[in-house]
Amino acid sequence: MTRIRYFKVTDGHLKSKEILLGNDAVVVNLLSTNNGLSYTIVSVGNSTVVEQGNASSLHMLKKKVKYSLKTMGKTFNDEIRKKREHQLSV
């Protein structure tokens, strides 16, 4: 796996597709409320919250989620994006 894909559920709520972790799968919820940004990692098998946390920006929130999943045993491939060549229009 290289990236975690999120889709919009409602305003201020993003949800990931299922992520396989060993014999179980988890879903990540990203929430934006008046209190700030938070995440929850929920087990699909028994619907329990595996981990939760918060951050000051969406970027930091996603980094914390990825780090948490890595500590749970999920491996992520390094992604090297090719630079696009800029074309000058004349």
pLDDT of residue 83: 79
Cα separation of 54 and 58, whole Å?
Answer: 10
Report if pTM > 0.75.
yes
pLDDT at position 90: 57
What is the predicted pLDDT for the residue at 75? 87
Joined tokens for residue 35: 């209190």
- Per-domain residue ranges for the chain? 6-70
Residue ranges, the chain, pLDDT below 50:
none
